Chains A and B, each alone.
Chain A
Amino acid sequence: MLNFPLNILWMAVAQTLYMIFVSGFLSIIFGLIFGILLFITQKDKIFENKIIYQGLNFLVNITRSIPYIILMIAIIPFTRLIIGTSIGTNAAIVSLTLAAIPFYARICEAALTKVPTGVIEAAQSMGASHPQIITKVLVPEALSGLIQGATLTVISLIGYSAMAGVVGGGGLGELAVDYGYQQFNPAVMLITVLLLIIIVQIVQMFGDYLAKQLKKVRVVVLVAILLFLSCIIGQTLPFMNNQTAVFKVGIVAGPQQVVMQVAAQVAKQQYNLNLKIVTFDDYILPNEALNNGDIEANIFQHVPYLDSQIHARGYQLVPIAKTFIYPMGLYSRKITSLDQLSNEAVIAIPDDPSNEARALLLLEKANLIVLKSGKTITATIYDIAYNPKQLKIITLDAAQLPREFKDADLVALTNDYVKQAGFTLIQALVREGPNSPYANIIVVRKQDQNKTIFKQLIAVMHSPQVVSEVEKLFPNGAAVPAWQ
């Protein structure tokens, strides 16, 4: 009915709650410390210190003005330093915490400012020390505001956590983006959004309740500390008990997630290999994470893309096997075979450099044009050496192409748009074959390429179970094994 496994949903709920709780706990503690420091070092306050105040103030302003998504990527080296990896839920927690600390620090500063100066003065006149003023006067007197601020912080963390998918953090937000948005599964989107709304509501109601029942704060803090400790222990225990290697493979969110679930089952059954699938939301980080050792392999790109990334970033990465090709095809509503193509016919192709070259190579394969010698995956329409039918080749935004069938005689469509244009792959007049350079590949680090474990990974990806799952998801030849 939902067309996707329910256990993924519960997993996502658990990941979200875990991320929110741990990052909320840490950012409230550190935010409170920084907030108190910001307050007491102000002019005319109990610990006036211009240097500390201005330093902290600057730091808070800087971190608060960096968009979360950029902060998350910018702190990758820091994340690796403290938890040893830059991907996964715990990596997301580091960036969430770092983003929320200055946010809560400001809220604390404002809440503490509302404590009447006279009350602090009274405590000083009793001979209270600075720590006593903080713990016995400032925090208890500002408690209601501090709790409301903490509620606000946790709720904005829920929002931020939706972006955690970029570093493979998982959670409901990633699920909504992956299944709901990218795969357009409205039911999944609706359910995840509903669950997020429910979580926000519960947090808000609990915060409001606690802000009025201040005597219960102690108990809640105690429970939170215990829960936090058990999270820490829960995180470290599996590593100590279960030393069987987990083998991390990076993919990009989409139908591949379902394929990789099957692959993981096959790997476990046939090779006792624990595949851990790390899902990314963008096309840069899977290579970055592979190159710096956070994952062992990735499966999401084709050779031309890998080459461009190696060229741009100097990665030491190599492809070890092909998986599937999702062929590009040439489609038409005016003709039924290429012989019918008249002189000066109009052909529409995608305008992004990678797909433009890909379409031109397909036209060459159909013997409609000849490209200048040596021009392959970097070809543009200016590299056409021979065009006997004087075809008019125009480049357009890929998303625009399905609407061009009235004006164009022939249109080049990538896999994503075939269904939208009302075709199936079989109806293509020409399509890419298994030896196209645009087949998906398994990529590993150069120094690891001869490890036997990769032979197993290749075998898994080429196994009948995986093939049949892919054919189920991409029927009518929309995906073709590229290794045969």
Chain B
Amino acid sequence: MIEVKNLTKNYDDNSIINSVLTNINLTIAQGEIFGIIGRSGAGKSTLVHCMNLLEKPTSGEIIINGVNLLDLSTDKLRQARQKIGMIFQHFNLLSSRTVFENVALPLELSHLSKKIIRDKVFGLLELVDLSQKIDAYPDDLSGGQKQRVAIARALASEPTVLLSDEATSALDPETTNSILKLLKEINKKLNLTMVIVTHEMAVIKTICDRVAVLDQGKIVEQGRVIDLFIQPVHIVTKKLTQAVLHLELPIAIRDKIKPQPTSDCSNPIVRIGFIGSSTNEPLLVTLYQQFNVIANIIQADLEFIQNSLIGVSICEFRGKPEAVLQALKYLETQNLKVEILGYA
């Protein structure tokens, strides 16, 4: 379990204090895959580097498995770090070592015997499906293979936590998916707590249980991934989810809509999000039959986020203003997430 309490990180360059993280609070449960997303420069890397004290927080606490890392001596901190694996965007393998030797490095650091190291490394390379590349050098591997080596290396000292900083950002979509699949498998097999830092919502969508959205060093929104998709609140979250769900409004409509109803623009544009098996069809019929409101679908998308189906559609509601209002109230009673984007 990882707890981050009131974490603040400032850099002071020539007495100008640059606040990179402000008052971060997070609780990540054992075995959970927790995402941290944000735009570039939001402070994601700094936050994840604070979690193993590669970066020293200005104030706050980092508690991993009940131990506050900031209380530890240098020696004890090194021992604690052996139980916190980390993988990186650029893999950070040692180019002078073979695949085998790279994975063996953390084990050499804890002075294990050659025999034990050998057995462990073979097991790990099997886990990441790289047994055939055991004597290759990193320069001769593809990006995906390098990240697999890095994962094996991070798992070598049997960590309870795995930190990942943009681990798939240098990879193509197909390789990204295979690496994410591998991480998910490992998470299940080893009940490992994972912190996945990324700027891509697709990554979050694919493997994370919960996510925190970081913007300008602050957590602006956090919760279950599906909740964020069906009803994003913060503007940054909205933009990030929209891109994944293909729900950008067509330009013709986006330019037309007004934030408040006017005499000639009184039809609300409504975003409806839902989880589960309910589909649009009977809903639209009900709206027409009960309220005499016509719901015109502009955009709609259905997505599986891990095991749940979520749907989001954007409709223009036409009808008498009172009727439209009642229709919207009715939708909320049906456990749907409704948001008025504007009026056309």
A127 near B81 with CB under 8 A, answer yes
Decide if B86 is an interface residue (CB 8 Å cutoff): yes
Of B54, B93, B95, B97, which is within 8 A of A125 by CB?
B54
Binds B, one of A133-141, A329-337, A359-367, A385-393: A133-141
Instruction: Please measure, in the bound complex, the distance between the C-alpha atom of A214 and the C-alpha atom of B137, giving whole angstroms.
Output: 13
Looking at the assembled complex, report how far the CB atom of A99 sits from the nearest CB atom of chain B, in whole angstroms: 30
- Which residue on chain A has the smallest CB distance to residue B81? A127
Decide if A197 is an interface residue (CB 8 Å cutoff): no
With a CB–CB cut-off of 8 A, which chain B residues contact A119?
Answer: 92-94
Of A124, A127, A141, which is within 8 A of B95 by CB?
A141
Instruction: Please measure, in the bound complex, the distance between the C-alpha atom of A129 and the C-alpha atom of B77, giving whole angstroms.
Output: 10
Decide if B90 is an interface residue (CB 8 Å cutoff): yes
With a CB–CB cut-off of 8 A, which chain A residues contact B86?
Answer: 122, 125
Instruction: Please measure, in the bound complex, the distance between the C-alpha atom of A128 and the C-alpha atom of B78, giving whole angstroms.
Output: 7
With a CB–CB cut-off of 8 A, which chain A residues contact B95?
Answer: 141
Instruction: Please measure, in the bound complex, the distance between the C-alpha atom of A116 and the C-alpha atom of B109, giving whole angstroms.
Output: 20
With a CB–CB cut-off of 8 A, which chain B residues contact A62?
Answer: none
With a CB–CB cut-off of 8 A, which chain A residues contact B79?
Answer: 127
Decide if B82 is an interface residue (CB 8 Å cutoff): yes
B82 near A126 with CB under 8 A, answer yes
Instruction: Please measure, in the bound complex, the distance between the C-alpha atom of A8 and the C-alpha atom of B94, giving whole angstroms.
Output: 50
Decide if B108 is an interface residue (CB 8 Å cutoff): yes
Chain A binding surface SS class: helix
With a CB–CB cut-off of 8 A, which chain A residues contact B106?
Answer: 126-127
B96 near A122 with CB under 8 A, answer no
Question: Are A121 and B92 also in contact (CB < 8 A) when A127-B79, A128-B109, A136-B105 are?
Answer: yes
Question: Are A121 and B109 also in contact (CB < 8 A) when A129-B78, A141-B95 are?
Answer: no
- Which residue on chain A has the smallest CB distance to residue B79? A127
Instruction: Please measure, in the bound complex, the distance between the C-alpha atom of A125 and the C-alpha atom of B90, giving whole angstroms.
Output: 15
A126 near B90 with CB under 8 A, answer no
Question: Are A214 and B88 also in contact (CB < 8 A) when A127-B81, A127-B109, A136-B105 are?
Answer: no
Interface string of A127-156 (1 = CB under 8 A from B): 111001000110011010000000000000
Instruction: Please measure, in the bound complex, the distance between the C-alpha atom of A353 and the C-alpha atom of B186, giving whole angstroms.
Output: 91
Total B residues in contact with A, Cβ cutoff 8 Å = 28
- Which residue on chain B has the smallest CB distance to residue A117? B92
Looking at the assembled complex, report how far the CB atom of B76 sits from the nearest CB atom of chain A, in whole angstroms: 10
Total A residues in contact with B, Cβ cutoff 8 Å = 19
- Which residue on chain A has the smallest CB distance to residue B95? A141
B92 near A116 with CB under 8 A, answer yes
With a CB–CB cut-off of 8 A, which chain A residues contact B93?
Answer: 119, 122
Looking at the assembled complex, report how far the CB atom of B64 sits from the nearest CB atom of chain A, in whole angstroms: 13
With a CB–CB cut-off of 8 A, which chain B residues contact A137?
Answer: 94
A127 near B78 with CB under 8 A, answer yes
B81 near A124 with CB under 8 A, answer yes
- Which residue on chain A has the smallest CB distance to residue B102? A122
Decide if A118 is an interface residue (CB 8 Å cutoff): yes
Interface string of B202-224 (1 = CB under 8 A from A): 00000000000000000000000
A125 near B109 with CB under 8 A, answer no
- Which residue on chain A has the smallest CB distance to residue B157? A126
With a CB–CB cut-off of 8 A, which chain B residues contact A128?
Answer: 78, 109
Looking at the assembled complex, report how far the CB atom of B36 sits from the nearest CB atom of chain A, in whole angstroms: 17
Instruction: Please measure, in the bound complex, the distance between the C-alpha atom of A398 and the C-alpha atom of B94, giving whole angstroms.
Output: 67
Instruction: Please measure, in the bound complex, the distance between the C-alpha atom of A237 and the C-alpha atom of B15, giving whole angstroms.
Output: 62
A127 near B82 with CB under 8 A, answer yes
- Which residue on chain A has the smallest CB distance to residue B106? A126
With a CB–CB cut-off of 8 A, which chain B residues contact A116?
Answer: 90, 92
Mind listing 8 A-B residue pairs with CB under 8 Å? A116-B90, A125-B86, A126-B106, A126-B109, A127-B77, A132-B109, A136-B108, A140-B96
B residues whose Cβ falls under 8 Å from a Cβ of A = 52, 54, 77-82, 84-86, 88, 90, 92-97, 105-106, 108-110, 150, 153, 157, 163
Besides the known contacts A122-B88, A125-B52, A141-B95, 14 further A-B residue pairs in the complex with CB atoms under 8 A apart: A118-B90, A119-B94, A121-B88, A122-B92, A122-B93, A124-B81, A125-B84, A126-B157, A127-B81, A127-B110, A128-B109, A136-B105, A140-B96, A141-B96
* Closest CB pairs A-B (n = 9): A127-B81, A122-B92, A118-B92, A125-B86, A127-B78, A127-B82, A126-B106, A140-B96, A119-B92
